[in-house]
């Protein structure tokens, strides 16, 4: 990268204090920055680091005259810095807007303009790909799918038949979307497969991490609403529904028919059992197991999940059990 401070200010906004023609060649954290880098501080507690950093420039929330650094002063340095990182990331990941000769695209499918399709991509019939979509090598997209505008699909993703994905989706490597839900019926001691003939509907601005699995519904739809973010290795079973702007951290596991409301936070390694409903604005702490539905605004932790204040008290008491046991035994 190579930008002047003036150019960066035009990207992120703010007021320049110092040399607007200073050339910036890199971005870095405030602790590890070198000459030529621009960095940022989140708040007042980081001001002392500006006096020590090797960075040539800093995005700050206020003037710091004693630093002698060129500054860009904005109301929210972190948010402003993200705008610059977005530009840099887009430049680094820019793909040729062409279709690789080895790609196999059904003549029955429609492809939007300004698309990038990598090597060995397969797109089956009656599928619609929007404009400005980037599809990396070794991606499979099945029949009758819809992929919205400005989406990015990284290598080795599998999207099976009749999956609908909205605009600006980001799907990381190895994700599997539309595999069969785990449905079997035991008849005379044998497990008989229940055909999974439903679909998946994914909204706009959804981010899906590496090796995430999202199963199609047995009937009807598995729904991932707009703004949802799903971290790596998470599993969404058949007929689940996740509300807008909810977030699932790594290794989250949703069993069949689970319903997650809006703005819900599911921390890492959480398990949620069949048909549980977690309502809007709730939070589930790490490694919890949820067996019962939660009311709006619930904050729970533990296995089984309990109100977090109660669980914290319980953890303190558990640590004291050996001592309590000894006292009781002595009595």
Same domain, yes or no: 192 and 221: yes
Same domain, yes or no: 63 and 117: no
Q: Is residue 324 part of a domain?
A: no
The model carries a pTM of: 0.91
Is the CB of residue 224 less than 8 Å from the CB of residue 244? no
Q: Is residue 254 part of a domain?
A: yes
Half-sphere exposure of 209 (CA within 13 A, CB side): 15
Name the DSSP letter for residue 247.
Answer: E
Q: Which CATH number characterizes residue 62's domain? A: 3.40.1390.10
DSSP one-letter string for 152-183: EE-TT-EE-TTEEE-TT-EE-TT-EEEEPP--
**Strand 15-17 with 70-73, pairing:** antiparallel
Q: Is residue 35 part of a domain?
A: yes
Tell me the C-alpha distance between 67 and 55, whole Å.
11
Same domain, yes or no: 86 and 120: no
Tell me the C-alpha distance between 81 and 89, whole Å.
12
CA 159-163-165 angle, 5° bins: 90
User: 3-class SS at 210?
Assistant: coil
Q: Is residue 99 part of a domain?
A: no
Divide the 331 residues of the chain into consecutive groups of 10 and give the mean pLDDT of each group. Answer: 96 97 97 97 94 97 95 97 95 93 97 97 98 98 98 98 98 98 95 96 98 97 98 98 98 98 98 98 98 98 96 92 90 86
Length of the chain: 331
List the structure tokens of 287: 């490694």
At which of 92, 125, 150 does a domain end? 92
Q: What's the pLDDT score for residue 276? A: 98
Q: State yes or no: is 238 an active-site residue.
A: yes
Is the CB of residue 82 less than 8 Å from the CB of residue 90? no
Is the CB of residue 76 less than 8 Å from the CB of residue 83? no
Q: What's the pLDDT score for residue 226? A: 98
Q: What's the pLDDT score for residue 1? A: 86
Q: Is residue 316 part of a domain?
A: no
Tell me the C-alpha distance between 331 and 327, whole Å.
6
CA 76-81-82 angle, 5° bins: 105
At which of 47, 69, 92 does a domain end? 92
Same domain, yes or no: 52 and 137: no
Tell me the C-alpha distance between 225 and 242, whole Å.
6
Packing angle between helix 77-92 and helix 5-12, nearest 10 degrees?
110
Domain of residue 144 covers 104-309
The residue whose two tokens read 């558990």 is 318
Same domain, yes or no: 85 and 231: no
At which of 92, 119, 136 does a domain end? 92
For residue 143, give the nearest of 106, 99, 104 by alpha carbon. 106
Tell me the C-alpha distance between 171 and 205, whole Å.
11
Number of structural domains the chain divides into = 2
List 61, 100, 191, 238, catalytic entry: 238
Which residues are bridge partners to 191 per DSSP? 186
Q: What's the pLDDT score for residue 299? A: 98
Q: What's the pLDDT score for residue 22? A: 97
Q: What's the pLDDT score for residue 128? A: 98
């Amino acid at each position: 990268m190579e930008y002047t401070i003036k150019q960066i200010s035009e990207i992120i906004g703010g007021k320049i204090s110092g040399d607007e023609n200073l050339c910036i060649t890199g971005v870095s954290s405030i602790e590890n920055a070198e000459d030529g880098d621009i960095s940022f501080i989140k708040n007042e507690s980081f001001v002392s680091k500006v006096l020590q950093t090797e960075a040539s420039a800093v995005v700050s929330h206020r003037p710091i005259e004693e630093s002698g650094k060129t500054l860009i002063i904005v109301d929210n340095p972190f948010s402003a810095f993200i705008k610059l990182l977005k530009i840099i990331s887009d430049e680094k990941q820019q793909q040729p807007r062409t279709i690789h000769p080895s790609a196999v695209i059904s003549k029955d499918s429609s492809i939007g303009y300004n698309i990038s399709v990598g090597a060995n991509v397969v797109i089956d019939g009656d599928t619609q790909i929007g404009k400005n979509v980037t599809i990396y090598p070794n991606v499979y997209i099945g029949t009758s799918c819809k992929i919205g505008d400005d989406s990015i699909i990284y290598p080795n993703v599998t999207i099976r038949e009749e999956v609908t994905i909205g605009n600006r989706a980001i799907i990381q490597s190895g994700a599997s979307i539309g595999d069969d839900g785990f449905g079997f019926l035991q008849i005379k001691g044998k497990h008989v497969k229940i055909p999974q003939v439903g679909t998946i509907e994914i909204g706009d601005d959804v981010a899906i991490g590496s090796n995430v699995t999202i199963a199609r519904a047995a009937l009807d739809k598995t729904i991932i609403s707009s703004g949802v973010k799903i971290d790596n290795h998470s599993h969404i079973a058949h007929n689940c529904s996740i509300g807008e702007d909810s977030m699932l951290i790594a290794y989250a596991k949703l069993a069949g028919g689970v319903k997650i409301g809006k703005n819900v936070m599911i921390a890492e390694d959480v398990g949620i059992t069949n048909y549980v409903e977690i309502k809007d604005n709730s939070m589930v702490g790490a490694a919890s197991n949820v067996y019962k539905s939660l009311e709006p605004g619930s904050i729970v932790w533990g296995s089984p999940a309990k109100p977090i204040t109660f669980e914290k008290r319980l953890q303190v008491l558990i640590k004291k059990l050996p001592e309590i046991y000894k006292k009781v035994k002595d009595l």
